[in-house]
Structure 1
């Protein structure tokens, strides 16, 4: 098996020592066991251990470490890069080559140990990519009696690539040679009195929650692996895509090349079948000629064997159907207990017609979607079509190429891309955008977005939804306050074309608010680590720092939205009722309701007074307050009870106020509205 594996990896054979050391030795973790492996958390002369303990497991034939453990506080932490390690093998091994396939879904430390004698005495090859934590750096180190000596290091570029790569260390006498994907990184001789001459092998991690190791091989020969072993195709059970009233696409993936068949029908007796054709790993079949809003049953065959049992699905509703249930979730792809808890709740309780995902389908780098999407949601996606949008993490590995490859999404735009698209489902017209690429005026996405908002499909829909990853504002996440270009370029379009609800993620929390007739919902609690509370934003009414999913129920002109936590507890609920189309304002006007009748000039120049005119129908307490873009209160403009009639306020910005976007909050009785104001200098 080892020779076969090394042949597949195009091994490079160097010198071949004759000393017998009970080698070769290998571990591929296919039995799911850690027998023979000893995990140990690092220590360093009394320095505190943070976020421990280490957590080593074997999952799907891969050794993983998922704790964020590190040792010490800065600056010591960023010098020693200690966390946890695991060792195996024979302490009598002296001269050998160690090859390991490695993958990091985090950007912190990952590496190997060799000539390992005990937790305080070994050599280590450590790679750290995070610039905030002392990277990027590749380091070859000796640890002797706990002290760390750097034998060689390289800070010239990224410490490691995305996806799987291979690390090799070859030790012969006092010579140490370290390779990455077959390229020599370090060649040193340790002739000091502290040199280590024998010991076991292992893997090491610093603050890395996404460390993966596989295909460990120790040989007496100087074997240098030039590439990681190609992973076998992962079995991917059926998932539904591109649902329409008369068709649906069913996709799946098999571990071997085989023909595929979908048997389907309006009853469990099935009766119809569609075959995929030539043998393949990946399969996709479109069922046509179906009846709208109708339950069908299907099963999938691999060759002549049942690959997936009989499962129901329902065709999409037509515009005439007033009722609908829609799932919304995001920032989910972590393969952690919170994600699995939310997945189970959505599968068991939501019973949605379809779902949308607001991005970061992968919370890692977007290099794979089986472990973090298709497996956690296997039951859900086999009967409910999910329409995702692209998050920033989905782009890190290959600019979302893997994401675009695994999903079968609409591409109704001139560019024929699935990065942004729209679709109709019952009374809803939904538009998915990609805020990781250009979306400002003049870009293809912006021009398409405007044309789609102007389309008959959008204008004739009872409800218009837009969803994408980056929200314009957020109260959670102290390190980020929202996407400025969304505020500048997309929010005016939402208001102009009557978008009802905008759904976002990126912020790992639940938030809801309303601004200028548009409801904004952040539902980024699908599994990623939760954010902290960062600031007050005037138009955001609800913020809950909790893992959750969101369920939208529509019945004609009434929309009810509820969010549920991991224990199925309801964390928010609100109702939105339409009294006309988005282009037709609700009944009432200046004579019977509060109205802001003028706000000028806007943008506002230096030293130029801002004039605000409003009208109240009866004596009403009115407050007018200026906030910055981060939601910080800057200046009160008014706080009094005004008699019925029209009133004008004037305010001149002070000279110290920087140019940029500001928010004017008007509170009248129990109602609140917010208007953006641009200040130019």
Structure 2
């Protein structure tokens, strides 16, 4: 959400109105909270952000939280705090979005929370705050969802959750829906992920399909009301370019769409990224965005990303770059040059997809492995000096895997399983 007043325990009402065509909505809002989504904050070890939706007759909301307790009666002692509420209008859609940031939490602690108000509460959700640097990290990486969300992606995200239910975060590399102004597509996303969205914090990075197909090419009107993301990025791309630190790894989202379309946003993100990488106290660094540094097909090349951001990845030894857009799978490291033409990069570049839209895969010189016409998800764990990466099909079969071994004073060593 846009407002920094989330930190104030007071009811704040704002209105967002967007002109749009009439939409048929198979996922109408009601008085009970729905589309409940957790997002990371800058420090998920001590704070968590939650956002939810109601019909427009419910104009205020509350969030309650407490450490987990097996005695239901203990829930009477949960701390209740007022949410920030804003009216959202898009064509014939009129709803309220509510958000709250839980603060002053304990690291590596199990909490239970719920959202809503009298007679209209959600269930209690369980979530564990991030730990401290040095703790094992686990996260899920999702490429383009975009199409077949309810019919096909439902099975994929549930398979990923079944294999990694204790993930610290789920990362989305853009094109989360096909048409960012269509409420029914966002409805399918929340239907498919259901309680998973409410229990594992999301790191969302926008793609070109989160931008309206208009002359203004604006970010989806749904993005900022329905996601509450860190606002530590540059002006003009707040809550799309940002970073979060989880257990010794810095996760950075870039807005590659604005980097292409708006020169000022490209330059501001470049300068911001330089600073965020320079002042990075973490052992590991992961960057996520939509348009790949190296693409799968020649006609999909993105030189503005490669020319502006790859030198920074090389300079600061970024470990993993996760991308989407090309609707096929590829990864590469061994054949990619680093800062100097005679040395190889220590950064692994990955492109993946998770929805039903598929493009033909092509073999390109930069690739160590490629493939296509498969729904895929990636599970990554980091422990000590080892990053372990496993890519699975939507049916749960292992498709690809490797390890990155961090070496003091040297580039990462790649071990292909």
TM over 0.5, shorter chain: yes
Q: Is residue 511–residue 523 contact of structure 1 (8 Å, CA) maintained in 2?
A: yes
> Which residue among 144, 157, 164 is the counterpart of 2:21?
164
Q: CA shift at 1:278, angstroms?
A: 8.6
Segments of 5+ residues of structure 2 without an aligned counterpart are 1-18, 87-95, 337-344
Aligned residue number for residue 248 of structure 2:
427
2:207 & 2:229 partners in 1: Cα distance? 15
Shift in alpha-carbon separation, 1:348–1:544, aligned structure 2, 3 A: same
Aligned residue number for residue 324 of structure 1:
137
Within 5 A, what are the aligned runs for 1:640-679? none
Shift in alpha-carbon separation, 1:414–1:482, aligned structure 2, 3 A: closer
Shift in alpha-carbon separation, 1:366–1:513, aligned structure 2, 3 A: farther
Q: CA shift at 1:586, angstroms?
A: 5.2
Q: Is residue 473–residue 481 contact of structure 1 (8 Å, CA) maintained in 2?
A: no
1:283 & 1:552 partners in 2: Cα distance? 32
Aligned residue number for residue 160 of structure 2:
346
Q: CA shift at 1:500, angstroms?
A: 0.6
2:84 & 2:357 partners in 1: Cα distance? 43
Aligned residue number for residue 241 of structure 1:
39
Segments of 5+ residues of structure 1 without an aligned counterpart are 1-161, 166-211, 216-230, 589-669, 672-681
1:524-566 Cα offsets, whole Å, 9 max, x none, are: 2x214111123x2223111121111111111111000011111
Q: Is residue 265–residue 297 contact of structure 1 (8 Å, CA) maintained in 2?
A: yes
Task: Please say if 1:541 is aligned against 2:373.
Answer: no
Aligned residue number for residue 273 of structure 1:
79
1:558 & 1:342 partners in 2: Cα distance? 26
Aligned residue number for residue 271 of structure 2:
447
SS at match of 1:359: coil
Aligned residue number for residue 7 of structure 2:
none
Larger deviation: 233-242 or 392-401? 233-242
> Which residue among 492, 495, 502 is the counterpart of 2:321?
502
Structure with more helix by fraction: 2
2:176 & 2:272 partners in 1: Cα distance? 24
Aligned residue number for residue 412 of structure 1:
232
Q: CA RMSD in A?
A: 2.9
1:239-296 Cα offsets, whole Å, 9 max, x none, are: 1123421111222111231542333211233322223269873221222221101111
> Which residue among 248, 262, 266 is the counterpart of 2:63?
262
1:372-427 Cα offsets, whole Å, 9 max, x none, are: 42222121111001011110000125611422332111121342722211110111
Q: Is residue 212–residue 220 contact of structure 2 (8 Å, CA) maintained in 1?
A: no
Q: Is residue 553–residue 559 contact of structure 1 (8 Å, CA) maintained in 2?
A: yes
SS at match of 1:540: coil
Larger radius of gyration: 1
2:243 & 2:110 partners in 1: Cα distance? 24
Paired residues in the alignment total 357
1:587 & 1:306 partners in 2: Cα distance? 51
> Which residue among 386, 389, 403 is the counterpart of 1:575?
403
Task: Please say if 1:492 is aligned against 2:348.
Answer: no
Within 5 A, what are the aligned runs for 1:128-277? 164-165=21-22, 233=29, 236-243=34-41, 244-255=44-55, 256-268=57-69, 269-270=74-75, 271-276=77-82
2:208 & 2:360 partners in 1: Cα distance? 19
Structure with more strand by fraction: 1
> Which residue among 518, 537, 540 is the counterpart of 2:347?
518
Aligned residue number for residue 375 of structure 1:
191
Q: Is residue 63–residue 83 contact of structure 2 (8 Å, CA) maintained in 1?
A: no
SS at match of 2:229: coil
SS at match of 1:451: helix
1:333-378 Cα offsets, whole Å, 9 max, x none, are: 3224221111221232222111211001112244435324222212
Task: Please say if 1:361 is aligned against 2:176.
Answer: yes
Aligned residue number for residue 384 of structure 1:
200
Q: CA shift at 1:233, angstroms?
A: 4.0
Q: CA shift at 1:467, angstroms?
A: 0.9
Shift in alpha-carbon separation, 1:277–1:309, aligned structure 2, 3 A: closer
Higher RCO (C-alpha 8 Å, min separation 6) = 2
Q: CA shift at 1:471, angstroms?
A: 0.5
Q: Is residue 252–residue 286 contact of structure 2 (8 Å, CA) maintained in 1?
A: yes
SS at match of 1:362: coil
Q: Is residue 294–residue 366 contact of structure 2 (8 Å, CA) maintained in 1?
A: no
